[in-house]
Amino acid sequence: MDMDKLVSLCKRRGFLFQSSEIYGGLNGFWDYGPLGVELKRNVREAWWQDMVRGHDELDAPPGAPEPFEMVGLDCTIIMHPQVWKCSGHYDLFHDFMVDCRESKKRYRHDQVHGRWVEAKEQRIFVATQAGGEEGEADAQQRALKFFNLRSKDAERLAWQGPLVSLTEIHDFSNVLGPDAKELGTLTPPREFNLMFKTYVGALSGEEGAAFLRPETAQGIFVNFKNVCDSTRVRVPFGIAQMGKSFRNEITPRNFTFRSREFEQMEIEFFCHPKASPEWYKFWRDRRYQWYLDLGLAGERLRLRDHDADELSHYSCGTADIEYAFPFLPPGEFGELEGIAHRGDFDLRSHMEGKLVRQGDELVVETGEDGKPHHRGSGKDLTYRDDLTNERFTPHVIEPSAGADRATLAFLCQAYTEDEAPDEKGKMQTRVVMKFHPRIAPIKAAVFPLVKKDGMPEVAKKIYLALKKRFNVFYDEKGAVGRRYRRQDEAGTPYCITVDGQTLEDRTVTVRDRDSLKQWRVSVDECPDEIARLIENPGAS
C-alpha cells in the first residue's frame, strides 16, 4: 500500500491534520479531524470495554490461571517530580542525538545509518536516515554528488560492506551527514532527556520544575495503595489507565507513529511473584488476540519476544506486538504495544528509592555518601493476602499500548483499492476503508434514493432512530452511487437506502461495504439489524 495515498486520504476526509497547520505546522504533533476523532475514540473504547468494563471477574478468560478483577484510573499528567526520579526516567530516559553543523538538523544517533564507499582515492562514510533499499539508493545518490560523478559512473563507487548504524562509527571526520555536502559536520553524540519540562506555580526556579508524564504507568504505581484501600480488589488484579503522554522525541516521523504528544493505554497487572511467569504469558497472548479480533491481519502482525540482551534492566521478560507498517522497509515491523514482566521494580522503587541492578539483585542506588540517590516515598506498598496472611510485594505485568499507533495500524490495514460496479454496472476502482465495524467512525449512512416522493422524510426518521444508538450519517445530495463511494472512503460498514419499495412495504435496502451484498430489512428493525451486524460483522 502506498503511504502517500493514505496520508492524503486522511487529510482529505478529515481523519488527521497536522497540528497548527495554518502556521506551518508543528513537527511531531497531530490533530484528529471529525472522522479521526471517532475512529480513535472507538479504538480506546474497544480497549476499555474489552479490558476493563466488559471483563468478567467471576469467570477466568481463556488462558488465565484464575479469575481476576480489572479496575480503571485517571491520573494527572503533571505529578510530583520525585515520581520520575524513582522511576528512573529522570536519570535514564534519554536518547543520544547528533547535530549537523552544516544543515542545522538534529538526528537520533541510533536512527542514522550509512555505508563506507571509496572513489577518487578517498574513503568516506555516507550517512542516511532511510533504511534498507531506500537507504542504499539515497547513499548512492549522495556519494555520486559528493565525488562529482554522474549516474552512469556509479560503478566507480567502491562500496565497502552493507548499511550499518552510525553508532558503530567512532570518528565522524570522514562522515558525510544525512543532509550535508561536506565531511565531518556531525557533532559527537550527546544525551538528551525526552521528558518535557515545565514549571508549576509562580516560581520559575528549579523548585517549581516538573515534567509532563512520558508514560501513564507511573500514576498507577503511585496509586496502588489507594486502589487497594478503597476497593475490594485482591491480588491478582489489574489497573488500567489511558491518557496523554509526552516525549520530546528527537526525530518525530512516520506520520503519527512517533509523535511528541500521544495517547497510551496501559495496564499494570499485580500478581504473586510465583505466578508471574504464567500471567506474563497470558497477557502477551491476550493482547495479541485483541488486535487480531479487531482486524489486523495475521501476516502483518507479529508477537516478538525480546532477546535477553534487549530486556530493560529490571525485566524478566518482554514481548512486543508489532505491525508491518507500510512506511517501513519490507520485512521490518514497528512496535504497537510492549508487554513487560517488570517484577517488583516499580513498587519497590516508590517505596525504597531508585533501584539499580547489582548482580542478580535490585538494590537502592546510593550516592558517594552512602545515602539513597533518589529517595522513595517510604510508604508501605506491599500487599497482605488476607486468606494466607502472606505479605509480599506484587510482581507486575505491564501491557503498554499506544492509542495513536493502534489507530494508525487500523488505518493502514483498512486502506483498500478494489473494483466495484458503478450505477451503470461498469467496474470502477474504488477506495474503501475496511475498518472492523466496532471501530468504524460512522456505523451506518442513511440515504433517500431520490430527494422527492416522501423518501427524505422516511430516511430522516430512520436516521434519527439510529442516531440514538450509533454514530450515523444522513446524505441526500447527488447520485446514490457517489454517496456510496464517499461512505466507502470513510469506512462506513453499512448504507441504508430508502427507495420506492419502502413507501409500499416499509422495507429498506442495507448494503454491506465489503461484500457489496444488498438485502432488505423492515424500517422498524433497522436499529437492531445494525447493532447485530456490528457485533457480528460476518453475519450479513
Instruction: Give me 423's grid cell.
Output: 450505477
- Smallest distance, Å, CB 295 to ligand ATP? 18
CB nearer ligand ATP, residue 174 or residue 251: 251
Tell which residue, 495, 491, 488, 487, has the closest CA to residue 449: 495
- Smallest distance, Å, CB 132 to ligand ATP? 18
CB nearer ligand ATP, residue 285 or residue 335: 335
CB nearer ligand ATP, residue 338 or residue 537: 338
Rg of the chain over all Cα atoms, to the nearest angstrom = 27
CB nearer ligand ATP, residue 139 or residue 265: 265
- Smallest distance, Å, CB 265 to ligand ATP? 8
- Smallest distance, Å, CB 170 to ligand ATP? 24
For 72-98, letters b (16+ CB in 10 Å) and e give ebebebebebbbbbbbbbbeebebbbb
- Smallest distance, Å, CB 348 to ligand ATP? 20
**Is it true that the peptide bond before 236 is cis, omega within 30 degrees of 0?**
yes
One-character DSSP codes across 186-231: BPPPEEEE-SPEEE-SS--SGGGEEEB-S-SHHHHHHTHHHHHHHS
Tell which residue, 302, 375, 289, 300, has the closest CA to residue 330: 300
Tell which residue, 91, 94, 89, has the closest CA to residue 110: 94
Q: Which residue is nearest to ligand ATP (CB)?
A: 402
- Smallest distance, Å, CB 343 to ligand ATP? 16
Q: What are phi and psi of 344, to 5 degrees?
A: -105, 15
Instruction: Give me 390's grid cell.
Output: 502472606
CB nearer ligand ATP, residue 85 or residue 405: 405
Q: What are phi and psi of 255, to 5 degrees?
A: 60, -130
CB nearer ligand ATP, residue 335 or residue 418: 335
CB nearer ligand ATP, residue 73 or residue 336: 336
- Smallest distance, Å, CB 334 to ligand ATP? 7
- Smallest distance, Å, CB 401 to ligand ATP? 6
Q: For residue 478, count other CB atoms closer than 10 A to its CB.
A: 12
CB nearer ligand ATP, residue 243 or residue 338: 338
Q: How far is CA 49 from CA 54, 71, 175, 244, 249, in A?
A: 5, 11, 52, 19, 31
Q: What residue ranges bind ligand ATP (CB under 6 A)? A: 215, 247, 249, 258-259, 262, 264, 335-338, 400-402, 404-405
CB nearer ligand ATP, residue 249 or residue 352: 249
Q: What are phi and psi of 63, to 5 degrees?
A: 95, -15
User: Helix crossing, 34-48 with 403-414: angle to 10°?
Assistant: 110
- Smallest distance, Å, CB 538 to ligand ATP? 29
